[in-house]
Structure 1
């Protein structure tokens, strides 16, 4: 069975199980109305929706279409103030988010401005953590018990592809995983093993790698256990380098080791709020550098990460940009910036 067919069947099964959760807005109070372009990805909708929930109390209503119904239905069971507009009925609008001229906030996908810029761009909507973090709460641990942590989906059929190198000039997740596994400092463990052993400090001078396929930390508890690590080795996403793991790490003072520092707004700085790697040789050297780092130097890095997150990614003031433009990163290949070095 092809990978595409598997995805379609999975989505159909998901839709059948979640359709009963879908709500249509029937009240009269004005709403936050979202009307985005047809190529807007699910992740882009969620990025906007969860930040709107932090900023406004009004219901969030998405323009109804059969396509939206199919791709977004499962989130209605997780987000209690999310609705579709009732077909053929006009909805009163408090704030409208759209690419259309009539919008209170004109949306665009010009994220290449972030990649090319060295300074903070204020009208760019921050990339969010995995949505489950906002649903489950943000409990964390203060003490450090793990040297470097990496966890996620490493399915070779999905991540071992040339797209990231060809378009963005970065190593893909599968190649990175293979290199990390080969290092003597690496321990491949399950999420249960981490939960049972992290307090022993057995992993304080190690890199622990957890594959979802073998049993990793559930999304609802991921940020809690991530906070026990000093560093996270950030693997890039599937369609673009930027991945929610770096935002989660910064939020709890875990220093990211990554190969896409210029995708954040503003760019991270090597040796200040991250460590960076570019090739397989630098993967090995940066792991050893992180594990051997002086405690005072590490503490300065950790503090800088949290300050960065608080300043740029913890919240967003939409009202500052009313009647202006907002930029949203969209994981459609037509909208993603291309590395200048490729």
Structure 2
């Protein structure tokens, strides 16, 4: 009990000092300002940080007036949302000397009901904008999201996949309305294939030769947890990336990381259709309906494309990424949606899924 009280006092002192420092922070003058007037950013947790981070990366000063209570709530409730006030020189809590043409975001402009368009409106809603999935938050926080990658390197004509395949965590999606194959089922499907391989380090890829072609290459976290700064480089060695769903929804940051280097998504139809704009078969993705269809694609299609066809799809993937998924392009589309008074759907993960249960 005494230790708990001591820790609470230490936290209070730490928060007080951090708040005082933030309160005294004065941003450099800038005509591009995002003014945040949000009462409940916690609803969107990591995705709210990402939304604001996109504006900061696009050259905006961030202003978020708040009192000490809100500051503490943001700082301590969620490790990703907390980056808003923990990241150095990220925002100012002062509202003084605002330029005339600020971009202002408020609670009622956004909704966490991200998937209603898919389930209830035939996937068509012209009066709304869905903020797309993005990289893992730490990629932006650590400034490694735009590291220079050789997207023109000679690639293996193989399928790559990486991540956590823990059955306990990644079977929750079966209790939702989504019908995508779980990542556990996808791993089981590929493990039974003759050309399956599980790697144990970066050198397994960068030192591989042509015999690595026509393989199903998995970096399973328990065997090889890829360093975040290496992810995009390793993805750029492959023509295709197998897109596995997240914990409770199809969307997962891995697909965006793959597309950023032109690696073509191998993706289930439902997953492709909850990305906006939807991915298209043989244009910027290879899309399968179910495991039987995936089996046919593996046997008869995926490794038969010419280098020219691969090059066209790769360039289409990069074009999609640059038009819809970079911070600058996202901010451009969000600002346009604000001007047109469209509803902006922002991910809230479990909360978004609960709307369609």
Q: Please state which band the TM-score falls in when normalised by the shorter chain.
A: 0.7 to 0.9
After TM superposition, give the deviation of residue 248 of structure 1 in Å. Answer: 1.9
Looking at structure 1, the residues matched to 273 and 305 of structure 2 have their Cα atoms a distance apart, in angstroms, of 24
| Structure 1 residues 197-208: aligned runs within 5 Å | 197-198=207-208, 200-208=209-217
Counterpart of 1:80? 88
Counterpart of 1:55? 58
Counterpart of 1:12? none
Q: Is the 8 A contact 2:180 2:250 kept in 1?
A: yes
Closer/same/farther in 2, CA of residues 195 and 62 from structure 1, 3 Å limit: farther
Counterpart of 1:130? 136
Residue aligned with 1:97, SS: strand
Is 1:251 aligned to residue 230 of structure 2? no
- Choose 68-77 or 265-274, whichever is displaced more: 68-77
Counterpart of 2:352? 335
1:320 counterpart (319, 324, 336): 336
Looking at structure 1, the residues matched to 274 and 164 of structure 2 have their Cα atoms a distance apart, in angstroms, of 21
After TM superposition, give the deviation of residue 234 of structure 1 in Å. Answer: 0.6
Closer/same/farther in 2, CA of residues 178 and 331 from structure 1, 3 Å limit: farther
1:262 counterpart (262, 273, 277): 273
Is 1:46 aligned to residue 49 of structure 2? yes
After TM superposition, give the deviation of residue 122 of structure 1 in Å. Answer: 6.9
The alignment yields a C-alpha RMSD, in angstroms, of: 3.4
| Structure 1 residues 108-187: aligned runs within 5 Å | 108-112=111-115, 114-115=117-118, 116-117=122-123, 123-134=129-140, 135-136=143-144, 137-141=146-150, 142-146=152-156, 147-161=158-172, 163-164=173-174, 166-187=176-197
Closer/same/farther in 2, CA of residues 261 and 272 from structure 1, 3 Å limit: same
Q: Based on CA coordinates, which of the two structures has the bigger radius of gyration?
A: 2
Closer/same/farther in 2, CA of residues 338 and 110 from structure 1, 3 Å limit: closer
Q: CA offsets per residue over residues 64-83 of structure 1, 9 Å max, x none? A: 25442221476369843335
- Structure 2 alignment gaps of length 5 or more: 1-10, 28-32
After TM superposition, give the deviation of residue 328 of structure 1 in Å. Answer: 3.4
Q: Is the 8 A contact 2:155 2:236 kept in 1?
A: no
Closer/same/farther in 2, CA of residues 305 and 21 from structure 1, 3 Å limit: farther
After TM superposition, give the deviation of residue 203 of structure 1 in Å. Answer: 1.7
- Choose 47-56 or 64-73, whichever is displaced more: 64-73
Counterpart of 2:204? 194
TM-score of the aligned structures, taking structure 1 as reference length: 0.78
After TM superposition, give the deviation of residue 337 of structure 1 in Å. Answer: 8.0
After TM superposition, give the deviation of residue 58 of structure 1 in Å. Answer: 0.6
Looking at structure 2, the residues matched to 118 and 185 of structure 1 have their Cα atoms a distance apart, in angstroms, of 40
Closer/same/farther in 2, CA of residues 253 and 177 from structure 1, 3 Å limit: same
Closer/same/farther in 2, CA of residues 52 and 326 from structure 1, 3 Å limit: farther
After TM superposition, give the deviation of residue 237 of structure 1 in Å. Answer: 0.6
Closer/same/farther in 2, CA of residues 320 and 196 from structure 1, 3 Å limit: closer
- Choose 200-209 or 217-226, whichever is displaced more: 200-209
Q: How many residues are matched?
A: 315
- Structure 1 alignment gaps of length 5 or more: 1-14, 101-105
Closer/same/farther in 2, CA of residues 38 and 306 from structure 1, 3 Å limit: closer
Looking at structure 1, the residues matched to 244 and 274 of structure 2 have their Cα atoms a distance apart, in angstroms, of 13
